[in-house]
Amino acid sequence: MKKQIATKSKGYSQVLNDIRFLLDKAKAQAYKAVDNIRVQTYWQIGERIVREELQHKERADYGEELIKSLANDLGFGKVNLHYMVRFYKTYPIIQTVSEQLSWSHYIELIYLSNKRERNFYENQSIINSWSVRKLRDEINNKLYNNVKKKGKLTIIKPLALIIKPEEVFKDTYNFKFLDLKPNYKEEHLKKELINKLEKFLHELGSDFFIGRREVPVLIGGNYDRVDLELFHSGLLCYILVEIKTEKFKHSHVSQMYSYLN
């Protein structure tokens, strides 16, 4: 009986969705952390094997025999050890290895001999959050060559690594340009912001672009609506905006978590 009351109580669905979001977020962060450690470790393994090979460079077959023995004793596949050696040789400076790319991404990248081409695909993978499959497809489709032929090839450090979210949002905003009467409500505020959108975006800062209004979001079988969707060309992501006129509440955070989830 108590269980039925708890699951049907007001706000239970919200709490459930918030906790699911936090668990999914934690799993994703844990997986990424483990993969970053794997990338770092495989680089170190590759470096150690190469260092050993150099000490016996007079023997042409030593490297292959070494990998064969290590694979047998460590339980690693020979192919994986060859990947690690090639990874180290392609990225001899560990600082050039990005924590935003997985080991699977690097397996695709290490076979690109052209450093400029490889940097292009690295940056595109980071900026556009490419999956390994997407990266492989773009390499096979020769995206680099196609962009180069069109004369639009510019390899720069990804904006996502230059601009941080905390550098985009201000502590306070000045909306005095709005024509609001005393004791205005959320609908009035929303209407004024949209009507004076150019000034509104100017106040938010550069690189903000309008997306959609009243964006439908399916939560628990029912549709809710996000007040406003913006896009930031520097962060390369969408930004959800909820307009409130009441004092800040914890439920506002929970509401946004649900939209993001």
Q: What's the rounded mean pLDDT across residues 241-249?
A: 82
Lowest mean pLDDT among 126-130, 131-135, 207-211: 207-211
pLDDT at 6 over 60: no
Share the mean pLDDT of the chain: 81
| Residue 105 burial (C-beta neighbours within 10 Å; 0-12, 13-18, 19+) | buried
What is residue 82's predicted lDDT score, i.e. its pLDDT?
A: 96
CA nearest 230: which of 205, 244, 211? Answer: 211
Q: What is the pLDDT of residue 135?
A: 93
User: Given a cut of 90, is residue 65 above it in pLDDT?
Assistant: yes
* Confidence label for 4 from pLDDT (cuts 50, 70 and 90): low
Task: Return the pLDDT at 159.
Answer: 43
DSSP per-residue string spanning 172-183: ----TTS---TT
